[in-house]
A and B are shown apart, each in its own frame.
Chain A
């Protein structure tokens, strides 16, 4: 089992803090602000999900150590990217059909968020935007084309969220992080239903410790979803060797058709 795990400490060791901060700034994603009073860690129990023939989704629990006084926000997301969707509209005032395409930029294919309290209540607007926490922040972060104005964008972004939630790959909730204390250590725990609709890929789990409307610490872990065995071989072949894959599919279908025909001839006695 492969474990990808990282945690940042702002207290232990100034050099490492500076190094980490420099790296983070270089990557342009997070800037560590403030001083935390405890070490925050994150661990996903199921960091390597394998897709075989009998895969029907999984669960991912995220746990770790945290400062008991800080609020927590836990986010699992896929890398940001582009998604093209078809847009339905009324034609001739009566008929619903596809009336064009919508391009969504900077949106992850999967976005799960949970928090100890509603993120909008515990974080300042700029912090929500900086870390892209919650649907409104994601909406401000994303681009939607073509739209006529902000209102139109909001409308089609809402439709995007509804579509993603229906496909079970977007969800936002709060209040379902369990916190406990054991041997003086304060821990947290939450579990996500991992939908079989989530495609193979590398997903990032980010845990934010929040205090005074600010993110004071972050810890990261990863969930790798991978196809294995025959599932992987078939998927690779369909993508990489289309001609061979197509030929095998056709021959198998012809064989099955003839085979069943022969079976019926023997057993049927229809005339």
Chain B
């Protein structure tokens, strides 16, 4: 059955957005990512204008991450305190990132810089997570040498002011740490035009040393607030949110997020990390292919600048 989308100005088979929502919601509940890096290009592929695809996806993520956060919160896997500091950093970083885009655009070649940053980030994060989780799966018993290696960085982190204990995550850090790294992810996410879940998850795992299951719940919590802000700004300034498309997507994604959260509990932290790493790497390879293969059309719809 086809439905007409009033803002996207196109007609779509309703099974397409429901199916996409289900698949991406599943990933969201499993790994604590918004899934924009998958959903937006898929929507464009199905004929949704790129600006509408990105804006509507953020509306849909509000629903999926609410559903996912709720599911993780029920089993005590959301560190609200950590989430709030990350959010604070992310908010400041987002503002800085938007200015950064303006500078890039003034310099020209913005698209090139943004695309390259995106591909490099995806590639590095994916490869690092893959190798790291593979090693930790192999050397599960020998954990002592790894601890020693990080003692230097650990000592430096411990020397920072405003140390506080994050109960849910079972870690003690300076308050500055989540704010600074949240800000860093916020800048990159704003420049690349993505939610940044795929960056936030590794930051929480490798820098903040949080347990993987708490990472997923906390990441969803902060994605929820980011996407509320983005949805509002997109609807208010660019008029690009398609409500009907968002509803179709969220029918699938809210259910997917619940299923993902249940599945996630059955998997080990390393298993979750390695699957996410593989997905990130596959997306990287896909983007590299797109960049190097000759496109069938040499012009595309103009942006909303």
Interface residues of A (CB under 8 A from B): 51-57, 83-89, 91, 94-99, 101-102, 156, 159-160, 162-163, 166, 196-197, 199-200, 227, 230-232, 234-235, 238-239, 242-243, 245-250, 252-254, 256-261, 264-265, 268, 270-271
Does B302 have its Cβ within 8 Å of any Cβ on chain A?
A: yes
Smallest CB gap from A196: residue in B: B11
A87 touches B10 (CB 8 A): no
**With contacts A196-B10, A242-B235, A257-B62 known, what are 6 further pairs, Cβ within 8 A?**
A85-B302, A98-B300, A250-B228, A252-B247, A254-B62, A258-B67
Interface stretch among B37-45, B147-155, B168-176, B287-295? B287-295
For residue A16, give the distance in angstroms from its CB to the closest CB of chain B: 40
A88 touches B295 (CB 8 A): yes
- In Å, the complex CA distance between A258 and B60 comes to 13
Smallest CB gap from B66: residue in A: A257
A253 touches B63 (CB 8 A): yes
- In Å, the complex CA distance between A246 and B230 comes to 10
What are the residues of chain A within 8 A of B59 when measuring CB–CB?
249-250, 253
- In Å, the complex CA distance between A256 and B256 comes to 13
A54 touches B302 (CB 8 A): no
Contact partner, B298, options A52, A87, A248, Cβ 8 Å = A87
Interface string of B209-251 (1 = CB under 8 A from A): 0000000000000000000100111111101011110110011
A88 touches B66 (CB 8 A): no
Q: Which of B258-272 contact A (CB under 8 A)?
A: 258, 262, 265
Interface residues on chain B, number (Cβ under 8 Å): 63
- In Å, the complex CA distance between A258 and B68 comes to 9
Contact partner, A231, options B4, B70, B303, Cβ 8 Å = B4
- In Å, the complex CA distance between A245 and B244 comes to 12
For residue A139, give the distance in angstroms from its CB to the closest CB of chain B: 14
Q: Which of B1-31 contact A (CB under 8 A)?
A: 2-4, 6-7, 9-11
Interface string of B103-125 (1 = CB under 8 A from A): 00000000110010000000000
A55 touches B11 (CB 8 A): yes
A51 touches B241 (CB 8 A): no
Contact partner, B299, options A95, A156, A259, Cβ 8 Å = A156
- In Å, the complex CA distance between A253 and B217 comes to 18
A238 touches B235 (CB 8 A): yes
- In Å, the complex CA distance between A243 and B290 comes to 36
What are the residues of chain B within 8 A of A84 when measuring CB–CB?
302
A-B contact pairs, 28 of them (CB 8 A): A53-B3, A53-B4, A54-B4, A86-B303, A94-B291, A96-B290, A98-B300, A101-B302, A160-B299, A197-B10, A242-B237, A246-B234, A246-B241, A249-B241, A249-B246, A250-B228, A250-B232, A253-B62, A253-B63, A254-B62, A257-B62, A258-B67, A260-B67, A260-B255, A261-B70, A268-B262, A270-B262, A271-B75
Contact partner, A254, options B63, B74, B239, B241, Cβ 8 Å = B63
